[in-house]
Amino acid sequence: MTHTIHGSPHAAVQVRDARGGGVHLHSPSPLAPVPRQLPAKRWFVDRESITAYLDQAWTVRRSPLWAGVEGPSGIGKTALAVEWAARREWPGGCLHADLSRTDPETALRGWLHTLGHHYIPDSPEHVAALWRTTTDGGPDRRHPDA
């Protein structure tokens, strides 16, 4: 007889016998919650041709989609990117950082913490390496510290 539990149970109870034997509760380490970091939606108008273009690029992509939005200050580049991202489903979550208000290293540190890392290295090079390691397995992979 084996006592094996398959799948991803949130908790498992093992009972030796019901007359005073040992009861053992086994629960997995909790995963970090799926991040939903996009800013709150604001008003958004008159960009349907651009969002349609991004939708088409997303639909026909054969690899991860990278898109850059350029234009003068204050024209709504960030609002466009946030609006478009908010219309999508992101099973692995969605991270956000306003790089006009923070530096990339601080953003990476925040994202690593959000994804469950409690120890984050001191050097920028090691922070970047940990970020690459964390994101190497795709959007559903989590690396909480053991």
Q: Is residue 28 in some structural domain? A: no
What stretch of H or E contains 135? helix 124-135
Q: Is residue 87 in some structural domain? A: no
90 or 138, greater pLDDT: 90
Q: How far apart are CA 25 and CA 20, in angstroms?
A: 15
pLDDT over 80 at 6, yes or no: no
Which range marks the domain in which residue 122 is found?
A: 97-137
Q: Which of 61, 59, 57 is nearest to 69 (CA)?
A: 57
Do residues 95 and 114 make contact, with C-beta atoms less than 8 angstroms apart? Answer: yes
Q: Is residue 69 in some structural domain? A: no
pLDDT over 50 at 37, yes or no: yes
Number of folded domains in the chain?
Answer: 1
Q: How far apart are CA 64 and CA 77, in angstroms?
A: 21
* Amino acid 125: pLDDT: 97
- The rounded percent of the chain whose pLDDT value lies above 90 is 30
Q: Is residue 41 in some structural domain? A: no
pLDDT tens-digit map of 71-108: 999 888 888 999 999 988 888 889 999 888 999 999 99
Calculate the average pLDDT of the chain: 81
pLDDT over 80 at 25, yes or no: no
Q: How far apart are CA 15 and CA 109, in angstroms?
A: 43
Q: Is residue 114 in some structural domain? A: yes
DSSP-derived letter for residue 62 is S
pLDDT over 80 at 63, yes or no: no
pLDDT-derived band at 33 (thresholds 50, 70, 90) equals: confident
